[in-house]
Amino acid sequence: MARIVVADDDVDVRTLVVLKLESSGHEVVSVENGAQAVERCRADRPDLVVLDLMMPGMNGLEACAAIRSDPSVAATPVILLTARAQAADVDAGLAAGADAYVTKPFSPRELASQVDALLQRAAG
């Protein structure tokens, strides 16, 4: 079981992600924006973070960069989950330090598979 922080300003998407990850046996904390995600990462030291790209205040790219710049959580795997699917958006996400980029609409099974793959890679 992994501890995962999920940040998305869309309550329906957030609920779907939380339900899927909890049904896979993970402990999930959900927040509404990037600033809260960074705060929870620093406080909880999760095993993985799922960030929406477009959120009010601190967006997913900024949150990812903040996580990467903090030595206490810099190694935490990050998945960007977003409706932005242009090549430039993917490049920007990966350049900000994301380990994976999943586009909406998304398959909950695909997301769970990405989560499992990143957790296995981080473990070892």
Region 3-123: CATH code = 3.40.50.2300
pLDDT for res 14: 96
Positive/negative CA dihedral, 36, 38, 113, 24? negative
For residue 108, say if its preceding peptide bond is cis, omega within 30 degrees of 0: no
What's the predicted TM-score (pTM) here?
0.95
Residue spans of alpha helices (H) in 24-107:
34-44, 60-69, 87-95
What token pair was written down for 122?
Answer: 């981080």
pLDDT tens-digit profile, the chain (124 residues): 999 999 999 999 999 999 999 999 999 999 999 999 999 999 999 999 999 999 999 999 999 999 999 999 999 999 999 998 899 999 999 999 999 999 999 999 999 999 999 999 998 7
pLDDT at 124: 77
Check residue 69 and give its pLDDT.
96
Please name which of 10, 17, 12 lies closest in space to residue 33, comparing C-alpha atoms: 10
For residue 101, the model assigns a pLDDT of 94
pLDDT given for residue 84 in this prediction: 87
Tokens of 121: 């890679």
Q: According to the model, what pLDDT value does residue 60 have?
A: 95
